[in-house]
Amino acid sequence: MHFGWPDAAIVFLYLASALAIGLWAGRGHTAKDDFFLAHRAMTWPVVGLSLFASNISSTALVGLAGSAYMIGIVIFDYEWPATIILVLFCIFFLPMLMRARVYTMPEFLERRYNASARIIFAILSLLLTISIDLSGTLYSGALFLHLLLPALSLRALVMGLAIFAIMYSTAGGLLAVM
C-alpha cells in the first residue's frame, strides 16, 4: 500500500477541519454551562447520537470485530444490556440530574452524600477511564494510523492523538465533542 501526498493532504485537511470546528464551537465560552453542558442547547437526537458514538467507540469497532472474527458473533451479546441501562437512565435518572442543574456525576454525589464521595468517584473515574477506555481508544487509533504512516512509531502516534484530543476538547468543550 502506498501513502502518497494526496492521502496525506486528505488526512491533514480532516484533522485541521476537526480542530477548526472545535475551536469555532468553543468561542464565547463564558460559564460552566457553556463548556460542560454545551450551552444547555443540545437536542435529544444529538445527545442520543453522542451517547451511541461514545458507547461504540473505535475500541469496540476494532476489538469487538476482531473478537467476533475469532470466537463468533456471540461476543456482542454483552452489549445488549447496556441499551436497557441507558434507556432506564434517560427515563428516570436524567430528569433528576437536569432539575438539580449539576455538571458532573461527582458534583451530584457530593450534593447527595458528601465531599468524600465526590473525590473517590472522581479519582476512580479518571483512573479507570485512562487505564481502560482511553488507552484502548488511543491504541486502536494509532494502529490505524500506523497502517497509513508506517514510518512513525506507535508511541508517537498515540501521543499525537492524545494531544489532538486534548486540544480539541479543551478548546470546544462538550459542544465540540458532540
12-53 pLDDT, tens per residue? 898 888 778 777 776 766 676 666 667 677 777 877 777 777
User: Which spans in the chain are helix H?
Assistant: 5-25, 32-36, 44-55, 58-59, 65-71, 80-88, 94-100, 105-112, 115-128, 135-148, 154-177
Long-range contacts of 165-169 (CB under 8 A, 24+ apart): 165/138, 167/19, 167/22, 168/18, 168/19, 168/22, 169/22
Q: What residue ranges do the domains of the chain occupy?
A: 41-101, 105-178
At 66-124, the pLDDT tens digits run 788 888 877 777 777 877 888 888 888 888 888 888 878 899 899 999 999 999 999 99
Distance CA 74, CA 108 (A): 36
